[in-house]
């Protein structure tokens, strides 16, 4: 079952086509990354999913769209903050939770639980305007999950957070998947997307440029990098015909192969000269894939 379906979705602002024939299926119970450079159309797409903007063409299906009030079964974390600055932290969470249909008695349990989980319990009675940027981001995240949504739409959820709080939000996202929830999030943080996501969608200039699981995306590009550990001296590695560069650090050799070379060919050549302790073909990271696909193209409107 798919939690979210976009089929041929298009959106223009005047002469600028922000989203072009975008199609994607997000399976239920997965974490799906939505990646692209600034101006690629990510935020525009998320706003169309949330019915804030209407597509010019195409179809969007959310949680099957089989009943009224489907948006109340979705949690949405916008990139920009929309908090009541003069309201206290606990009151903000209680009030916005009630707008999502959570009963008062349930909110009396959930609000302190989420404040504690996000490290905001000491700030419960303080006004939102007194919170740091990172604290406001955590409060906005709590608002988006207080009603226990089936589908989470997160626009740059790690923005403004220090590494400790990034790890905290990551763990909550993983816990949500464990409970069968679906998470779609956009981010510029490639290492987090690589670590968290079951599936990935990369767009540029409003168009899909790659989609699939990480291993699937990595498999589309042959690797010319090898990590190698040997017994003894490996200075001979730089003289092998398959090798462009060989750098040693901490007993590990980082080898760059010639464009036409094969990693197994290198392994056979090394085994003839030394005892191999470990040999790993280095697959391209998500960051490297991102750079290959979108390069320096950053025009358009997000």
Residues 7-48 pLDDT 10s:
999 999 999 999 999 999 999 999 999 998 888 899 999 999
Mean pLDDT over residues 209-214, rounded? 91
β-bridge partners, 13: 16
pLDDT confidence of residue 302: 55
User: Which residue carries 């209407």 as its tokens?
Assistant: 54
**pLDDT higher for 182 or 189?**
182
Q: Are residues 240 and 213 in the same domain?
A: no
Mean pLDDT over residues 255-259, rounded? 87
pLDDT confidence of residue 138: 96
Q: Are residues 122 and 22 in the same domain?
A: yes
Q: Are residues 31 and 80 in the same domain?
A: yes
Task: Summarize pLDDT for 234-251 with one digit per residue, the tens.
Answer: 999 999 999 999 998 888
pLDDT confidence of residue 203: 92
Number of domains making up the chain: 2
Mean pLDDT over residues 163-167, rounded? 95
Q: Are residues 30 and 172 in the same domain?
A: yes
3-state secondary structure 88-127: EHHHHHHHHHHHCCCCHHHHHHHHHHHHHHCCCHHHCCCE
289 part of a folded domain? no
pLDDT at 164 over 80: yes
pLDDT confidence of residue 296: 55
Find out whether 123 and 170 touch, Cβ atoms under 8 Å. no
Mean pLDDT over residues 44-69, rounded? 91
Mean pLDDT over residues 169-194, rounded? 93
pLDDT confidence of residue 297: 55
pLDDT at 299 over 50: no
Residues with Cβ within 8 Å of 109's Cβ and at least 6 positions away in sequence, in order, are none
pLDDT at 1 over 50: yes
Mean pLDDT, the chain, rounded, equals 91
27 part of a folded domain? yes
Q: Are residues 142 and 180 in the same domain?
A: yes
Question: For the domain that residue 237 is a member of, what is the CATH number?
Answer: 3.30.70
Q: Are residues 154 and 254 in the same domain?
A: no
Kindly indicate the confidence band of residue 189, based on its pLDDT and cuts at 50, 70 and 90: confident
Q: Are residues 205 and 87 in the same domain?
A: yes
Residues with Cβ within 8 Å of 298's Cβ and at least 6 positions away in sequence, in order, are 37, 38, 39
Find out whether 186 and 43 touch, Cβ atoms under 8 Å. yes
Q: Are residues 32 and 72 in the same domain?
A: yes
Q: Are residues 198 and 230 in the same domain?
A: no
Q: Are residues 104 and 177 in the same domain?
A: yes
Q: What Cα–Cα distance (Å) separates residue 240 from each residue in 224, 228, 259, 261, 281?
A: 14, 14, 14, 11, 17
Kindly indicate the confidence band of residue 301, based on its pLDDT and cuts at 50, 70 and 90: very low
Mean pLDDT over residues 147-164, rounded? 94
Q: Are residues 87 and 210 in the same domain?
A: yes
Q: Are residues 75 and 155 in the same domain?
A: yes
Question: For the domain that residue 71 is a member of, what is the CATH number?
Answer: 3.40.50.300
301 part of a folded domain? no
Mean pLDDT over residues 75-85, rounded? 89
- Given 218, 251, 275, the domain boundary residue is 218
Q: What is the span of the domain harbouring residue 229?
A: 225-283
- Ramachandran bin of 45, using left for φ above 0, alpha for ψ from -120 to 50, beta for the remaining angles: alpha
């Amino acid at each position: 079952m798919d939690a979210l379906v976009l089929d041929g979705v298009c959106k223009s602002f005047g002469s600028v086509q922000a989203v072009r024939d975008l199609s994607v299926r997000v399976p239920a119970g997965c974490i799906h990354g939505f990646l692209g450079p600034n101006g690629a159309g990510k935020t525009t797409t998320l706003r169309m999913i949330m019915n804030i903007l209407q597509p010019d063409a195409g179809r969007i299906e959310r949680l099957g769209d089989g009943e009224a009030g489907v948006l109340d079964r979705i949690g949405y974390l916008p990139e920009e903050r929309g908090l009541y600055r003069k309201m206290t932290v606990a009151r903000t969470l209680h009030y916005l939770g009630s707008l999502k249909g959570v009963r008062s008695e349930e909110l009396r349990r959930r609000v302190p639980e989420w404040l504690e989980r996000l490290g905001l319990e000491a700030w419960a009675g303080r006004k939102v305007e007194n919170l740091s940027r990172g604290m406001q981001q955590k409060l906005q995240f709590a608002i988006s999950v207080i009603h226990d949504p089936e589908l989470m739409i997160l626009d740059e959820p790690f923005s403004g957070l220090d590494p400790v709080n990034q790890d905290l939000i990551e763990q909550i996202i993983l816990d949500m998947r464990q409970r069968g929830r679906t998470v779609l999030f956009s981010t510029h943080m490639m290492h987090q997307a690589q670590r968290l996501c079951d599936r990935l969608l990369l767009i540029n200039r409003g168009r899909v440029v790659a989609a699939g699981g990480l291993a699937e995306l990595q498999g589309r590009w042959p690797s010319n990098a090898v990590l190698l550990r040997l017994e003894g001296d490996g200075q001979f590695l730089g003289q092998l015909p398959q090798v462009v560069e060989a750098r040693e650090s901490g007993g590990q050799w980082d080898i760059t192969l010639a464009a036409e070379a094969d990693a197994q060919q290198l392994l056979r050549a090394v085994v003839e000269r030394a005892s191999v302790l470990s040999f790993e073909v280095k697959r391209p990271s998500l960051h490297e894939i991102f750079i290959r696909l979108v390069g320096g193209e950053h025009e358009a409107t997000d």
